[in-house]
Amino acid sequence: MARTAEEVKTLANEYFNRKEYDRAIELYTEAIELDATIATYYGNRSIAYLKKEFYGYALTDASKAIDLDKNYIKGYYRRAAAQMALNRFKQAVRDLETVVKYRPNDTDAKNKYNECLKIVKRLAFERAIAVDEVKKSVSESIDLESMSISDDYDGPQLTDGKVTKEFMIELMDYFRDRQKLHRKYAYKMILDVRQLFAKDDTLVDIQISSDQKFTVCGDIHGQFYDLLNIFKLNGLPNEDNPYLFNGDFVDRGSFSLECILTLIGFKLLYPKHFFMSRGNHESQTMNQMYGFEGEVKAKYTSQMYELFAEVFNLLPLAHCINSKVLVMHGGLFNSDTITLDQIRTTDRNRQPPDEGIMCDILWSDPMPAKGRAPSKRGVGVQFGPDVTDNFCKLNQLDYIIRSHEVKPDGYEEAHSGKCITVFSAPNYCDTMGNKGAFITMKGSDLRPKFTTYEEVPHPNVKPMAYANSLFSFM
């Protein structure tokens, strides 16, 4: 006997409550196909899309729900969440205003409305006082000499101002025990790595010898204890064990500072054998929402966060291994004519724009169908196997590696093996149940080998602990 739309929706809710969002989305879609007139079905699928970070789809569904029922208050709430995730705070204010109007006693809605309104006013003020002159770098205002180290500090210490192998081993142990590196050493590391990244190209060429192993890791997202597990499984970075971390080092997880300081420490120690690409979360908008800014301010200072923002602007956007494998965080482009040389000449020292090469590199996703489609995230583009094939032929590449998306097994081979996703944060946000993975390859054939692993225990600090309170319902 065929199921009714309401029965399918009820089943979808069960999967949603079990945090099986992909299956929930499939079932909400089935319910909509059976009866496309019910606002709740679109509203429920909207929040499932929010959980998957498909903000473009979430926005469309919430709007559809409102079109079907102007009094469906959850639709306004969910559309506001999607608008905020897309940095559209003015539109979010309007939706939250509607929620408050219909629910005047909803304290949470009122608080979110007031907080969102503050952001809109602050952004308007910042635009009003903006001037064309070049802003002075935060790095120029930092006085390391004035930062004294008290006698009771028992943590890792730089040797003549330099990172050593011994320092890194001690630092990771110190962080594992939830201790805080002295701010003088933290500032020194960030300032030094800023100079290193400033010398890099937007697209960095990497050469590995035929018998050398090379490792590519995907998103880490502040999951420090899982980062330590990668090094346990695959060995610490060194000249004979080079690594590339492919963006999204921070946000979501609540040990982002420990992650980024560990990664930049290895970059300083092995500058020619340790590489880092920018992800879409290495940006001020995302950091303000998803926790990194709040974490740095809580553990150190707002000045340190501003310095990190400068470093993130200087991170390379892509790496090319032996001229045959291109690695970037998001994906390919809204044009068939983009070449590696165009990526090389892209100005990256900025906050990510809403379109163009830099935007697509950080935000785009592959899809099974041919051609291109609007992004499920609301930013970037979705690209099909023909797009990948054309790009690889144009640029004489074997395949591309990207990250940016949770995958059940931690990785996925798509587009006939020419588009590989690797995601290295297992049980993402303590809710997704996915494995993590990393890729190893030898220079002789560049054939990808996948290593998967489960999450490891971490201290009882929940993901998003430092995130803006506006995003507690996402």
Q: Where are the alpha helices (DSSP H) in 18-164?
A: 21-34, 39-51, 55-68, 73-85, 89-102, 107-129
Q: Would 458 be classed as within a structural domain?
A: yes
User: 7-20 as b/e, with b when 16 or more CB fall inside 10 Å?
Assistant: ebbebbbebbeeeb
Q: What is the DSSP string of 266-280?
A: HHHHSTTTEEE---T
Phi, psi of 33 (to 5 degrees): -65, -30
Looking at the predicted structure, is the pLDDT value of residue 469 above 80?
A: no
Least confident of 3-17, 131-145, 295-309: 131-145
Average pLDDT of the chain is: 95
Whole-number pLDDT of residue 134: 57
How many domains is the chain partitioned into structurally? 2
Contact (Cβ atoms closer than 8 angstroms) between residue 468 and residue 235: no
Q: Looking at the predicted structure, is the pLDDT value of residue 308 above 80? A: yes
Last residue of a domain, one of 81, 111, 129: 129
Quick check: is 306 in a domain? Answer: yes
pLDDT of residue 30: 97
Residue 160 reports pLDDT greater than 60: yes
* Residues of the domain holding 443: 186-467
For residues 230 and 321, membership in a common domain is answered with: yes
Calculate what percentage of the chain has a pLDDT beyond 90: 88
In a domain, 310, yes or no: yes
Q: Is residue 138 part of a domain?
A: no
Residue 126: which pLDDT band, with cuts at 50, 70 and 90?
confident
Q: What is the CATH number of the domain that holds 20?
A: 1.25.40.10
Residues 65 and 207 in one domain: no
For residue 107, tell me if it sits in a domain.
yes
Alpha-carbon distance values, 442 to 60, 94, 186, 403, 421 (Å): 44, 54, 34, 20, 18
Q: Which residues contact 162 (CB under 8 A, 6 or more apart)?
A: 268
Residues 125 and 196 in one domain: no
- Alpha-carbon span 264 to 261, nearest angstrom: 5
User: Which residue, 88, 107, 129, sits at the end of a domain?
Assistant: 129
* Strands 381-383 and 372-374, sheet pairing: antiparallel
Could you tell me if 98 and 227 lie in one domain? Answer: no
**Residues 224, 83 within the same domain:** no
Question: What amino acid is encoded at 167 in this protein?
Answer: F
Mean pLDDT of 332-355: 96
Per the domain annotation, does 244 fall within a domain? yes
Q: Does position 365 have pLDDT exceeding 60, yes or no?
A: yes
Tokens of 203: 């697209």
User: Active site residue: 182, 221, 273, 281, which one?
Assistant: 281
User: Residue 425: which CATH number?
Assistant: 3.60.21.10
Is the pLDDT higher at 71 or at 128?
71
Tell me, yes or no, whether 334 and 263 share the same domain. yes
pLDDT above 70: percentage of residues in the chain:
98
Provide the pLDDT for residue 125.
79
Cβ pair 251, 290 in contact under 8 A: yes
Can 404 be counted among the known catalytic residues? Answer: no
Where are the strands (E) in 152-300, listed by range? 203-206, 213-217, 243-245, 274-276
| pLDDT for the residue 129 | 72
51 token code pair: 């959980």
Instruction: Based on the fold, state whether residues 267 and 394 are members of the same structural domain.
Output: yes
pTM: 0.93
Instruction: For 419-463, write each residue's pLDDT tens digit.
Output: 999 999 999 999 999 999 999 999 999 999 999 999 999 999 999
Residues 311 and 406 in one domain: yes
Same domain, 446 and 324: yes
Q: Is 193 in the same domain as 113?
A: no
